[in-house]
Chains A and B, each alone.
Chain A
Amino acid sequence: GAGVSQSPSNKVTEKGKDVELRCDPISGHTALYWYRQRLGQGLEFLIYFQGNSAPDKSGLPSDRFSAERTGESVSTLTIQRTQQEDSAVYLCASSLRPSGELFFGEGSRLTVL
């Protein structure tokens, strides 16, 4: 596709449920990032995939959060046993090279009731 695609765009779930967020990066982009943005806040780094290297998971806030990426393609961010504090917009971005320009998707807005 022309840009980074994220789905779902909106997700409302009940506390304790698991959710899965999907990111389809720009074709050929080796780097893929997930960020979390709470209302009125900046971007909180979650995880970074670069090619076939081991991902940098240093930003994942707890073991309820995990992410996978298939080669240089789609990535999924999974949040298990969701809590109300997980409510935020989850942004995915891809880049042609490390430290290069990030192209962001529109985000997945998660609301945990």
Chain B
Amino acid sequence: QKEVEQDPGPLSVPEGAIVSLNCTYSNSAFQYFMWYRQYSRKGPELLMYTYSSGNKEDGRFTAQVDKSSKYISLFIRDSQPSDSATYLCAISGYSSASKIIFGSGTRLSIRP
């Protein structure tokens, strides 16, 4: 079993729609949960960073962590064509020397 599993997509939605992206993880000891966005031929960049269960909101983006279910989500409201990218979940932190592990990424396309 992979340590983190991500819905592969691709996902195509119309502009203005609400997007839901999801990942599950296997080790309940993971403490840090991140979402990265990667545009074509670029390195990923951090979008959201959380370390506890619950919701964290930043503008049109909301990150949700459910540690009891080992499930993390990213919601995008009022999606824009500029949101078209690959979204990668990442987890870390069951020890101070823990590496950061990424999901396989979901390719998202927002249709104008």
Q: Which residues of A pack against B, CB within 8 Å?
A: 4, 33, 35, 40-43, 45, 48, 50, 53, 56, 58-59, 91, 93, 98-99, 101-102, 104-107
* Contact status of A43 and B102, CB under 8 A, knowing A101-B49, A104-B44: yes
With both beta carbons as reference points, the residue of chain B lying nearest to A59 in the complex is identified as: B99
A6 and B97 CA atoms in complex are apart in Å by 24
Chain B residues near A101 (CB-CB < 8 A): 34, 46, 49
A51 and B38 CA atoms in complex are apart in Å by 27
Interface residues of B in 49-71 (CB under 8 A from A): 49
Chain B residues bordering chain A, tally (CB within 8 A): 26
Q: Closest CB of chain A to B42's CB: distance in Å?
A: 7
Chain A residues near B36 (CB-CB < 8 A): 102
CB-CB nearest 5 A-B residue pairs: A104-B43, A42-B104, A43-B102, A99-B92, A42-B105
With both beta carbons as reference points, the residue of chain B lying nearest to A109 in the complex is identified as: B41
Of B44, B45, B96, most A-chain CB atoms within 10 Å: B44
A99 and B32 CA atoms in complex are apart in Å by 7
With both beta carbons as reference points, the residue of chain B lying nearest to A105 in the complex is identified as: B43
The reply to whether B97 and A107 form a contact with Cβ atoms under 8 Å apart is no
Q: Confirm or deny: B101 has a beta carbon within 8 angstroms of a beta carbon on chain A.
A: yes
Q: Closest CB of chain B to A88's CB: distance in Å?
A: 13
Chain B residues near A104 (CB-CB < 8 A): 43-45
The reply to whether B43 and A99 form a contact with Cβ atoms under 8 Å apart is no
With both beta carbons as reference points, the residue of chain B lying nearest to A54 in the complex is identified as: B97
The reply to whether B99 and A43 form a contact with Cβ atoms under 8 Å apart is no
Knowing that A45-B102, A101-B49 touch, tell me 13 more A-B residue pairs with CB under 8 angstroms: A41-B104, A42-B103, A45-B101, A48-B100, A56-B97, A59-B99, A98-B92, A98-B98, A99-B31, A102-B46, A104-B45, A106-B42, A106-B43
The reply to whether A42 and B88 form a contact with Cβ atoms under 8 Å apart is yes
With both beta carbons as reference points, the residue of chain A lying nearest to B105 in the complex is identified as: A42
